């Protein structure tokens, strides 16, 4: 039984380290978030800066 408990603690520790390390790999993606724009980016999570030409619209 002690071996099983030790394995469980080791697995729990590894999972905790993995969970704490994953957010460090995240990089935000900027893009046009207006669904009516022709250059809408579904995978973007931050609106691009409000410079001219960020979102383009069909005529």
Residue 52 lies in a domain: no
Residue 32 lies in a domain: yes
pLDDT of residue 2: 65
CA distance 17 to 32: 34
Residue 28 lies in a domain: yes
Residue 13 lies in a domain: yes
The pTM is what? 0.51
pLDDT digits (tens, 9 = 90+) for 3-16: 788 888 888 888 88
CA distance 34 to 54: 10
Residue 57 lies in a domain: no
Residue 38 lies in a domain: yes
Residue 59 lies in a domain: no
pLDDT of residue 59: 86
DSSP assignment string, 20-39: HHGGGG----EEB--TTSTT
Neighbour-count burial for 24-35, b at 16+ CB within 10 Å, e otherwise: eeeeeeebbbee
Domain that holds residue 40: 2-47
């Amino acid at each position: 039984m002690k071996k099983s408990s030790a394995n469980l603690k080791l697995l729990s520790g590894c999972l905790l380290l993995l969970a704490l390390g994953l957010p460090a790999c995240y990089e935000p993606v900027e893009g046009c978030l207006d669904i009516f724009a022709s250059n809408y980016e579904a995978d973007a999570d931050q609106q691009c800066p409000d410079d001219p030409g960020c979102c383009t619209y069909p005529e």
